[in-house]
Amino acid sequence: MINHYKFEDEPGLRDLFITVDDPESHVTAIETFITYRVATKTSRSEFDSSEYEVRRRYQDFLWLKSRLEEAHPTLIIPPLPEKFIMKGMVERFSEEFIETRRRALQKFLSRIADHPTLTFNEDFKIFLTAQAWELSSHKKQGPGLFSRMGQTVRAVASSVRGGVKNRPEIFMEMNDYMEIFTQKINLLDKISHRIYKEERDYFHEMKEYGPIHTLWSASEEDLVDSLKGVANCIDKCCKATEKRMTGLSENLLPVIHEYVLYSDILMGVLKRRDQIQTELESKVDALSTKKAEKDLLREEIGKLEDKVECANNALKADWDRWKQNMQYDMKSAFTNVAESNLQYYEQCLASWESFLTSQTVDLHLEEDSEDRP
């Protein structure tokens, strides 16, 4: 079965590699925006070339995502980084913001590349290979933004109306799971950010703490070594803290944040599946009430039944795959955090132990010299 392959950790099986880098600012009369270089390397025969390099802006990524959602309403389309960060701390074009977004965009594309179905999507291929003007003209064809909005609106409307009647057990479980998962992942997001903030504040205080000992050593002839030794240890711990913080912001925070976004996406997917089933159910109801056009209705119901079965199967398979990935991602991310903390404490331990050794060696030397006549 497809979901036993983890494309992410078997690079040997990958035949499509994508990187997103080189953010560049563009200023026009109307707006300022950033484009990123999207570089693709592939060995697939359906691609004319083995290497591509195009420039894309955030809007283009949004377009791709909406196309994928339209084409596969009950597949789990990976999340895009948010349009804005509401926290107010990060400016739209700050380096930090751009870098975080760049990484998330790269993750987005590589998740699509690793998805057994989405990876062969035509719009995806065009996104990776078309030059700017080609993409623009392609975008203009086909159902636009309004159609996608219509689908979501219908899905929400139907759920408001009372929703699906006979949601299969498995999807009930998925719903219950997602409700709790959403809660927990959001809490983890808050906690992790809080830890980052506390570590950063600790780092700032430590930066001031070490140098005071050096300052003190200037007025203490006999304590210079001890005081400078302590100052040195504190500085080393300070640097180790900085590394730990970086580990958190590069490994854990983006992963948890991605899954916060995923939880929204999954709720949406479940709603869309429900909506497809609702369509069928309402047609079935119509069959029992309407007198005329029964044959036509039966034909439509037949098609809808197929649609529902496809949608359900697609979602089931993708759900299993998503859960496996989630488990793997969480395991890696938290193991990394533990490893990062271990390294932090080991570095600090080493510097304090070497300071202690130097001090006790001194003491022994002093004692020895006192014994000598």
Which positions touch other proteins (CB under 8 A)?
176-177, 180-181, 184, 187-188, 191, 194-195, 198-199, 201-202, 205-206, 208-209, 212-213, 215-216, 219-220, 222-223, 226-227, 229-230, 233, 237, 327, 330-331, 334-335, 337-339, 341-342, 344-346, 348-349, 352-353, 355-356, 359-360
Least separation in angstroms between residue 330's CB and other proteins is: 7
Least separation in angstroms between residue 323's CB and other proteins is: 9
Nearer to other proteins, 82 or 201 (CB): 201
Least separation in angstroms between residue 175's CB and other proteins is: 12
Least separation in angstroms between residue 229's CB and other proteins is: 8
Least separation in angstroms between residue 19's CB and other proteins is: 29
3-state secondary structure the chain: CHHHCCHHHCHHHCCEEEEEEEEEEEECCCCEEEEEEEEEEECCCCCCCCEEEEEEEHHHHHHHHHHHHHHCCCCCCCCCCCCCCCCCCCCCCCHHHHHHHHHHHHHHHHHHHHCCCHHHCHHHHHHHHCCHHHHHHHHHCCCCHHHHHHHHHHHHHHHHCCCCCCCCHHHHHHHHHHHHHHHHHHHHHHHHHHHHHHHHHHHHHHHHHHHHHHHHHCCCHHHHHHHHHHHHHHHHHHHHHHHHHHHHHHHHHHHHHHHHHHHHHHHHHHHHHHHHHHHHHHHHHHHHHCCCCHHHHHHHHHHHHHHHHHHHHHHHHHHHHHHHHHHHHHHHHHHHHHHHHHHHHHHHHHHHHHHHHHHHHHHHHHHHHHHCC
Nearer to other proteins, 54 or 234 (CB): 234
Nearer to other proteins, 132 or 218 (CB): 218
Nearer to other proteins, 296 or 342 (CB): 342
Nearer to other proteins, 96 or 176 (CB): 176
Nearer to other proteins, 226 or 282 (CB): 226
Least separation in angstroms between residue 265's CB and other proteins is: 18
Nearer to other proteins, 52 or 181 (CB): 181
Nearer to other proteins, 13 or 191 (CB): 191
Least separation in angstroms between residue 277's CB and other proteins is: 24
CA distance 348 to 358: 16
Least separation in angstroms between residue 204's CB and other proteins is: 8
